[in-house]
Amino acid sequence: MRVWFLSAGLALMCMAQNAAAGTVLIVGDSISAGFGLDTRLGWVSLLEQRLKQEGFDDKVVNASISGDTSAGGQARLPALLAEHKPELVILELGGNDGLRGMPPAQLQRNLSSMIDSSRQSGAKVLLLGMQLPPNYGKRYTDSFAEVYGKLAEEKNIPLVPFFLEGVGGHPDLMQADGLHPAAGAQSKLLENVWPTLKPLL
């Protein structure tokens, strides 16, 4: 009888641990895909390491694709939600929309749809905001940046206002193309996200 209780107790502990472990799905573009880097040095890999260090059992699924736009992410998301059943979805999209001069209203519609789909699947959502270089013109860059704040307020979701804070505009932290963060910037990207991400785990 004592052995049975011990076995049952261990089984319940394992079940509780598995129930506590969730899946974090990251849907992003080249910044999260680790373009130009050994992906083991990217901020997503650093996030996996941080989770283990802090005692979280969550699994990270990086579904980021270099060059992806919000429209591409929106098209891919339903299948990703069905396959991975995440507890948390991190949306890191929009940079390529802006670089291609796409209307901010279109970006807002696409991200709004992704937020709604994620929530309907039972997942929390974290939105990572982006900004554009000033050479795109103040009117456009302001309209673009405002999309993220508007969505966060409208949908009542957590927001990292500017994912590349402290990185963008710093040549020593960027790759030669001036668009993609270098290896030395990846820990900073994680630090930009972690304080907002951790309470959602």
Q: Which residues are catalytic?
A: 30, 177, 180
Helix runs in 54-185, H state only: 70-84, 95-99, 104-120, 138-155
What's 51's DSSP letter? H
Query: Measured between alpha carbons, how far is 139 from 146 in angstroms, rounded to an integer?
Result: 11
Which residue in this structure is represented by tokens 């992410």?
Answer: 73
- Residue 143 CB contacts under 8 Å (≥ 6 apart), including other chains: 104
Work out the number of other CB atoms within 10 angstroms of the CB of residue 120.
Answer: 9
What percent helix, strand, coil does the chain show, rounded to 5? 60, 10, 30
Query: Measured between alpha carbons, how far is 157 from 64 in angstroms, rounded to an integer?
Result: 21
